[in-house]
Structure 1
Amino acid sequence: MDIGTVRVAAAGPAAGRRREQRGWYFYDWACSVYSTSVLTVFIGPYLTSVAKSAADSDGYVHPLGIPVRAGSYFPYCVSLSVVIAIVVMPLAGARADRSGRKKPLLALAAYTGATATTGMFFLGGDRYLLGGALLVVANASIAVSMVLYNAFLPQIAGPEERDRVSSRGWAFGYAAGALVLIVNLVLFTGHDSFGLSESAAVRVCLASAGLWWGAFTLVPLRRLRDRPAAAPVAAAPHGWRQLAATLRDMRGKPLTLAFLLAYLIYNDGIQTVISQASVYGSEELGLGQSTLIGAVLLVQVLAVGGALGMGRLARAYGAKRTILGSLVAWTLTLGAGYFLPAGAPVWFFVLAAGIGLVLGGSQALSRSLFSHLVPPGKEAEYFSAYEMSDRGMSWLGPLLFGLTYQLTGSYRDAIISLVVFFVAGFALLARVPVRRAVRDAGNPVPDRI
């Protein structure tokens, strides 16, 4: 019995494995609403407006006495959340692998994030410090929870089915995002008829994402099951020491590390586009909140089909080639975004359509491809490194975006600066021999990869 058979056998009979897969999909259904409604649509423009209301006459706020341009406050908060997550994720991943108890840690991370998101209801007036703190906690929590969630994938799906399972998970997430955004759009555009101010409507939308996240997390917690640890439980190093230990271990798998480096770079660009697109649309293009919600809704709807469609392309051409094609599309889309005319929502919708068609597939196939490169028994530990740049948790991209805006005062310059992530990521991924990387990780090689 080879390693791949052992991994699938650990999931139990086929019926039980399918039950776990369906439960696994529902964590994407639960937490993707945060990524969509909170991070992509509402919190960026709203927190920026709150920071501007608290700014001095020169347009600066002063958290901890540090002068920060109000327009840069949101991306800086995203970057800070990732620095915190980098400390926590490897520790949580190593603990999960050593103890075999992923579910309790997943529950802790998920409900910490859901609680912080629900607390955004109280963000109003000039409470930019409260908003930043809640954003940092929620962002760091979803990063940690995704480490544990992704680590289940090699245990519940065999090598030949991981592209399909991963793509369906992303499709579930985008479907949930679209559903909740429709409700958000109705609430926001008709806030007067509901007796709410525009600010109150935004805060209700933010808090409802936290409630949704917490409620649907119950499904995967009921259906997924923990496996015995591959190694005896031992005390794990803390924070940066655990990250260093994980990276030292990866040095023995240089091709896995090479793929991870490529992924961290190009996904940093993807996540920054996602998290900063609404700020770009509102501040640079002068588009209203309703237009931004509609554009993101279009992204969600098309991303469902895009994720499933690119999953089929991967079965025909391999995941690596399909991802490389998506990076070319990302580069062209971002370049087009630089030239979008202000006050022209139609062109913003065209841009959103392009993003939606490649967004889900590029993320889903990256996750499934990486799962083939993880040594058995180290799923959560390796996915902790993977997750550093996933789900809007990138730090270098928002930092570059914020610094470019701070130095130039132009969101167009900030958005075009992100092209470097896609070009560099393409170049690095193209050099990775993925079939040899799978063998070196000790896993069976699928027919197409």
Structure 2
Amino acid sequence: MSVVSKRKRIWGWYFFDWASQPYNTLLLTFIFGPYFTGTVTANLIAEGMADGAARAQAQAYWGWGLAAAGICIAILAPILGAIADNSGRKLPWIWLFSIMYFVGSGALWWTEPQNFSIIWALFFFGIGLIGMEFATIFTNSYLPDLDDDPAELGRISGSGWGFGYVGGVLALAIMIALFQATPSGRTLIGFEPLFGLDTATRADTRIVGPLAAIWFAVFMIPFFLYTRDTLQAGATRLSISKSMRDLLTTLKGLPNNPSLMAYLGSSMFYRDALNGMYTFGGIYALGVLGWSITQVGIFGIIAAIAGAVACWISGRMDRRFGPMPVIVFCVVTLACVALLIVMITPTSILGISIAEGSALPDVTFFIAGALIGAAGGALQASSRNMLTRQANPERITEGFGLYALSGKATSFLAPALIALTSQVTGSQRLGVSPVVGLFIIGLVLLIWVKPKGDFSK
């Protein structure tokens, strides 16, 4: 087997972020998520439900679907991580989860409004989401092996996340420039939707699923070309029972590693809050501000560009000061932005009335989107680097499995709280308010996290 240079290994690792980002950008946040809730809303209104109640109910369905996928991820993530650490083989798992990503996203093509099934749409979306999340766990666990200098890992993580944002921007730009029709029937740049896609069946929007699948398949090639498993001495082929015993030992030992335990708890809440903002941001703009999917797409491009730039900058800050200051700054920023978003309506901002028809709410939401993209991207990049400092270096994949568990153990919480609040208040705007409290809880728990972790020498 040929030796792969350090530069190629790093760039191959970067390409996973580039390949997988469209699931978050195109499907979860800016195109399919709003399409799902918009379609469900229209169907509920056609059945006789009031407009506001229909929008809140559609947002609730989306929230419950994401919560179900999150529970599956939370249960299996640490188990799979332990198995990978014991066997030393990660690539076969990444292949499996890549297939799930491809199938799940590609199947979203069959979600035309005329025969729309909430259950099947959420099922296939969930399959792809689970595949993406599990592939991310195993891919992240390669991070400590990319450079012998731990101080460089923050820069590498930030650059990789920023590179992924650039991929998301490009994919989103292609989607709204060549496929997604505006109310005029043409795309944003004045073209007929590519391949003659029928707007009556929303084919111009549904194509987002196959586009994300093909994008992933093509751009995962560098990752698989340049990534190699390093088998550890004593590694077994596949021992589920031993892996379960090792995982239980790790879980029982968490109280003896208070910094890791506090970090898992903190990140559990602030990442859940961030995912809630990502997931419902486009849906919020569509329902509360009355945006079109094209406007939501432009919003996504602005957020992703801000994220790419911020990740590059924060990676350098991480290298110089460590991940902790970056994480604290980003969590505070996001909590403030979340509060701002809840207080934006078409006729007021922060409770101050504005003239009807004013563009100020839209402009303010665009600014909020840029801040979410910037702070959210930097937060996630520094958070995965922080995990390399907190976890046992000899059980790093299991550590990232626990990291995924902490991110998904309550991943149902933000969607469920948003769904519940939306239903109880009957207000889509107030429905997103719980994320503010989740950010605050995450920030408080950081007090007990050691910047260099319990395993530092």
TM-score by length of 1: 0.87
- Match in the other structure for 2:383: 366
- Match in the other structure for 1:209: 212
- Match in the other structure for 1:28: 17
- Match in the other structure for 1:336: 340
Q: How does 1:33-112 map to 2 (within 5 A)?
A: 33-52=22-41, 54-55=43-44, 57=47, 59=49, 69-112=57-100
Taking a change above 3 Å as real, the CA distance of residues 246 and 114 of structure 1, as seen in their structure-2 partners, is farther
Find the aligned partners of 1:103 and 1:96 in 2 and give their Cα distance.
9
- Match in the other structure for 1:406: 423
* CA displacement 1:282-327 (0-9 Å, x = unmatched): 1112111111100110011111110111122223433211211111
Find the aligned partners of 1:246 and 1:111 in 2 and give their Cα distance.
30
Deviation at 1:239, TM superposition (A): 11
Please tell me the residue identity of whatever aligns with 1:365.
Answer: S
- Match in the other structure for 1:162: 153
Please tell me the residue identity of whatever aligns with 1:210.
Answer: A
Please tell me the residue identity of whatever aligns with 2:311.
Answer: A
Which of the residues 149, 171, 176 maps onto 2:162? 171
Q: After alignment, is 383-392 or 400-409 more displaced?
A: 383-392
The number of aligned residues is 421
3-state SS of paired residue (1:78):
helix
Find the aligned partners of 1:217 and 1:242 in 2 and give their Cα distance.
31
Q: How does 1:247-396 map to 2 (within 5 A)?
A: 247-342=251-346, 344-388=361-405, 394-396=411-413
Find the aligned partners of 1:145 and 1:128 in 2 and give their Cα distance.
26
Taking a change above 3 Å as real, the CA distance of residues 365 and 333 of structure 1, as seen in their structure-2 partners, is same
Taking a change above 3 Å as real, the CA distance of residues 390 and 297 of structure 1, as seen in their structure-2 partners, is farther
3-state SS of paired residue (1:398):
helix
Find the aligned partners of 1:353 and 1:385 in 2 and give their Cα distance.
30
Please tell me the residue identity of whatever aligns with 1:88.
Answer: L
- Match in the other structure for 2:192: 193
Contact 2:418 2:434 in 1 (8 A): yes
* CA displacement 1:177-231 (0-9 Å, x = unmatched): 0001111111213357133334111111222011111221121111111011354
- Match in the other structure for 1:219: 222
Q: After alignment, is 117-126 or 250-259 more displaced?
A: 250-259
Contact 2:60 2:422 in 1 (8 A): yes
Please tell me the residue identity of whatever aligns with 1:228.
Answer: L
Taking a change above 3 Å as real, the CA distance of residues 99 and 277 of structure 1, as seen in their structure-2 partners, is same
3-state SS of paired residue (2:345):
coil
Please tell me the residue identity of whatever aligns with 2:278.
Answer: I
* CA displacement 1:26-69 (0-9 Å, x = unmatched): 00010011111111112222222333455484649xxxxxxx93
Deviation at 1:430, TM superposition (A): 2.6
Find the aligned partners of 1:392 and 1:273 in 2 and give their Cα distance.
18
3-state SS of paired residue (2:344):
coil
**RMSD of aligned C-alpha atoms?**
2.6
For the pair 1:129 / 2:129, whether they are aligned, the reply is no
Please tell me the residue identity of whatever aligns with 1:269.
Answer: A
Deviation at 1:245, TM superposition (A): 5.3
Contact 1:168 1:308 in 2 (8 A): yes
Deviation at 1:417, TM superposition (A): 1.7
Taking a change above 3 Å as real, the CA distance of residues 244 and 296 of structure 1, as seen in their structure-2 partners, is farther
Contact 2:418 2:433 in 1 (8 A): no
3-state SS of paired residue (1:313):
helix
- Match in the other structure for 2:354: none
Please tell me the residue identity of whatever aligns with 2:435.
Answer: L
Contact 1:91 1:242 in 2 (8 A): no
* CA displacement 1:153-176 (0-9 Å, x = unmatched): 112223111001100110111000
Find the aligned partners of 2:82 and 2:42 in 1 and give their Cα distance.
43
Find the aligned partners of 1:377 and 1:16 in 2 and give their Cα distance.
23
3-state SS of paired residue (1:377):
helix
Find the aligned partners of 1:29 and 1:120 in 2 and give their Cα distance.
21
Find the aligned partners of 2:127 and 2:446 in 1 and give their Cα distance.
32
3-state SS of paired residue (1:18):
helix
- Match in the other structure for 2:353: none
For the pair 1:140 / 2:143, whether they are aligned, the reply is no
Find the aligned partners of 1:395 and 1:215 in 2 and give their Cα distance.
31
Find the aligned partners of 1:423 and 1:406 in 2 and give their Cα distance.
24
Find the aligned partners of 1:127 and 1:238 in 2 and give their Cα distance.
41
Please tell me the residue identity of whatever aligns with 1:106.
Answer: I
Please tell me the residue identity of whatever aligns with 2:165.
Answer: Y
Contact 2:35 2:293 in 1 (8 A): no
Contact 1:75 1:399 in 2 (8 A): yes
The answer for unaligned runs of 5 or more in structure 2 is: 51-55, 347-356
Find the aligned partners of 1:376 and 1:239 in 2 and give their Cα distance.
16
Please tell me the residue identity of whatever aligns with 1:173.
Answer: G
Find the aligned partners of 2:245 and 2:64 in 1 and give their Cα distance.
25
For the pair 1:424 / 2:441, whether they are aligned, the reply is yes
Contact 2:71 2:408 in 1 (8 A): no
Contact 1:78 1:398 in 2 (8 A): yes
Please tell me the residue identity of whatever aligns with 2:337.
Answer: T
* CA displacement 1:118-145 (0-9 Å, x = unmatched): 1111111222221011111111111111
Find the aligned partners of 1:138 and 1:165 in 2 and give their Cα distance.
26
The answer for unaligned runs of 5 or more in structure 1 is: 1-11, 61-67, 445-449
